Chains A and B, each alone.
Chain A
Amino acid sequence: MEGGGGGDYISSLLNSSPMLDFGVLDGTGAGGDCLDKFCGDPGFAERAARLSSFNGQRFPGAAAGLFGMPPPAPAASNGDFGGAGSREASSVSDPASGMMKDANAKKRKASAAKGKAREPSLSTSGQVGDQKELDAKRCRTGDAEKKTAPVKPKAEQARSGSSVEDYGEPKKGKGKNAKPVEPPKDYVHVRARRGQATDSHSLAERVRRERISQRMKFLQDLVPGCNKVIGKALMLDEIINYVQSLQRQVEFLSMKLATVNPLDFSNLPTLLHKDMYQACGPSASSVFSLESSNSAFPFSDQGDVFQSFVPNSMESQCTLNQLDLALSHATSAQYAFQDGTGSTNLQQQQRNFWEDDLQSVFHVDNNNGQSQDNAAGSAQSFNGADESTQAGQMKMEF
């Protein structure tokens, strides 16, 4: 590993990272050449290793962790370098790995939700592997660095906010190592991995592929029964089938609602509150003129259907009447969705209504008498509505 040829590497490592405050080893002649190329090396390989296992995760604190941290006690990392030959190599690599361990710690905090189980194994593998990678890529990273410059503007148009964007900061940080985390750029910095092409095209493509695979994984969680399927084509099959089945269900339900609806809006209040008030006439116009006190109950029933989704409170029940009175105002205007020209205005009206309604949800200013009536009324209807929604929810588990 680091035995004979490590001298050049070590000195270049030292020269490139001014935070490594050794003063032990002077830069040799060879180190000066590699200065530019290896400026980011201590963090490069471990980040490259991370790239392979963390697909598209964000590590905003990575660069800070790498270059902002003083060289910590390398005692912990001594065991990782069983193959490190010379004492110089170990003393050099230890702070580097120590810094990387701190970077790991920072990354652990940064990516709290994801991949925590993988972190410990990654840190060890990253530190063991980075020596080999740095050796092998000593000359190639020079090219890769120069080539990633054209990658940036190219990938800039494609994406923004890539998860790997912070990786490039130490790469460019020849003079910027002392800076803390730079603000994340819009474009992508990607490192070439070992054994892979360093072409700018393939780099951007790799980023794109990682992004796609990350989203496919998320979709896999979303679609039931997709866990067993492996492979993009089959998974996309499942996703397509699921979306189609959902759309079909919407169609069937809309058909059902269409057949069920015409009578019910006038009957619903009576059906759910038979003992509460007298039956309304089965005419559609009666729906729209519900502004009397009787209207307080029917709309609260309809609202209760959906309140069962949320643990309802007194407030929501009370404000529902206010909302539904507003709704009846809206419907009395008798606009239709088939009217394409008017629908924009109506949708805006709707939005205005909703915004008012939503504000009123949080500002509960209702009469006490009204609230008590609603509580009494909706308590009875809630059980019926609850059962129906429970049945509906159970059917949903197909």
Chain B
Amino acid sequence: MGGAKRRGKPAGAAAAAGPAQTKWRSGTQERIYGRRLLDALRATRLPQTQPQPRAVKAAADSALALTARGQSRWSRAILLAGAASCRRRVLVKAGGKIRRHRRPQARAALEASKAAAAASAGEPPVLKERKVKDRLRVLGRLVPGCRKLQAPDLLEETADYMAALEMQVKTMRALADAFAAAQLSSPQPPSQAPEASAAGDEAEMER
């Protein structure tokens, strides 16, 4: 598929940075991801149980990683984490690392390092300073599979991951809106509750 074409591993930096953005912003990727997402969502909905948000998110992230065709480190990490081990670990890690617990820790670490840097006023403005290193570490924790990655590769993975996330958000939002619109016009009683929750979610997201 043309949209997923990308240069191989040992290519130039400048060549790699560009296609990441254009690749994810093309409509073809959105379509591919949309279909994969629908498929995954249908799969998560076991007929008996209610779909949990974690499962939905795991499915969405796995679909995203699949759309990336495993050409980036984070997508491989997500796919491998999903396929690797038992059910429990998949549920927790399929979103790529244990983000739930890490994120407050990451923010706390970030703010702590910020405070420390502000306190130490006499630091020379060297290019690779402790603050930058701290932030790079935090970023490595955010992007799945990029914890022990050096700065240039980490930044490249971040660029690709960001573009992919943007596309994912866009697609999921459209899908959710379509579903919500469909439910609004539905005469069925359960549409009231999801409607309220949808409005609440939107308000929470738009802050």
Assess whether B170 is interfacial by the CB under 8 Å rule: yes
Is A253 in contact with B176, judged by CB distance below 8 angstroms?
A: yes
Interface size on B, residues (CB 8 A): 111
Encode contact with A along B149-189: 1 for CB under 8 Å, 0 otherwise.
00110011011011101101111111111111111011010
Is B56 in contact with A258, judged by CB distance below 8 angstroms?
A: yes
Assess whether A393 is interfacial by the CB under 8 Å rule: yes
A214–B58 CA distance with the chains assembled, in angstroms: 33
Is A260 in contact with B66, judged by CB distance below 8 angstroms?
A: no
Assess whether A354 is interfacial by the CB under 8 Å rule: yes
Shortest CB distance A368–B (Å): 24
Is B45 in contact with A262, judged by CB distance below 8 angstroms?
A: yes
A339–B41 CA distance with the chains assembled, in angstroms: 14
Residues on the A chain within 8 Å of B56, using CB: 254-255, 257-258, 261
Is A219 in contact with B176, judged by CB distance below 8 angstroms?
A: no
* Number of A-B residue pairs having CB atoms within 8 Å of each other in the complex: 305
Assess whether A28 is interfacial by the CB under 8 Å rule: no
- Among B15, B42, B169, the residue within 8 A (CB) of A287 is B42
Is B183 in contact with A265, judged by CB distance below 8 angstroms?
A: no
Is B45 in contact with A398, judged by CB distance below 8 angstroms?
A: no
A222–B155 CA distance with the chains assembled, in angstroms: 12
Assess whether A336 is interfacial by the CB under 8 Å rule: yes
Assess whether B10 is interfacial by the CB under 8 Å rule: yes
Q: A218-B159, A330-B39, A347-B79 are in contact. Are A306 and B182 (CB under 8 A)?
A: no
Q: A212-B152, A218-B17, A310-B30 are in contact. Are A256 and B198 (CB under 8 A)?
A: yes
Interface SS of chain B: helix, strand, loop or mixed? Answer: helix
Assess whether A252 is interfacial by the CB under 8 Å rule: yes
A215–B175 CA distance with the chains assembled, in angstroms: 33
- Among B36, B151, B179, the residue within 8 A (CB) of A268 is B179
Is B178 in contact with A250, judged by CB distance below 8 angstroms?
A: no
Residues on the A chain within 8 Å of B143, using CB: 243
Residues on the A chain within 8 Å of B177, using CB: 388-389, 391-392
List residues 51-92 of chain B with CB under 8 A from any CB of chain A.
Answer: 51-62, 66, 79, 82-87, 89-91
Assess whether B121 is interfacial by the CB under 8 Å rule: no
Is A260 in contact with B151, judged by CB distance below 8 angstroms?
A: no
Residues on the B chain within 8 Å of A387, using CB: 181
Assess whether B132 is interfacial by the CB under 8 Å rule: yes
Q: A214-B14, A254-B60, A344-B83 are in contact. Are A267 and B186 (CB under 8 A)?
A: yes
Assess whether A233 is interfacial by the CB under 8 Å rule: yes
- B residues sitting closer than 8 Å to A (CB atoms) are 1, 10-15, 17-18, 21, 27-28, 30-32, 34-36, 38-47, 50-62, 66, 79, 82-87, 89-91, 94, 99, 103, 106-107, 110, 117, 127-129, 131-132, 135-136, 138-139, 142-143, 151-152, 155-156, 158-159, 161-163, 165-166, 168-183, 185-186, 188, 190-191, 193-194, 197-198, 201-202, 204-206
- A residues sitting closer than 8 Å to B (CB atoms) are 56-58, 114, 159-163, 186, 208-209, 211-212, 214-216, 218-219, 221-223, 232-233, 236-237, 239-240, 242-244, 246-247, 249-265, 267-268, 270-272, 282-285, 287-288, 302-303, 305-310, 323, 327, 330-331, 334-340, 343-344, 346-347, 350-351, 354, 357-358, 384-385, 387-389, 391-393, 395-396, 398
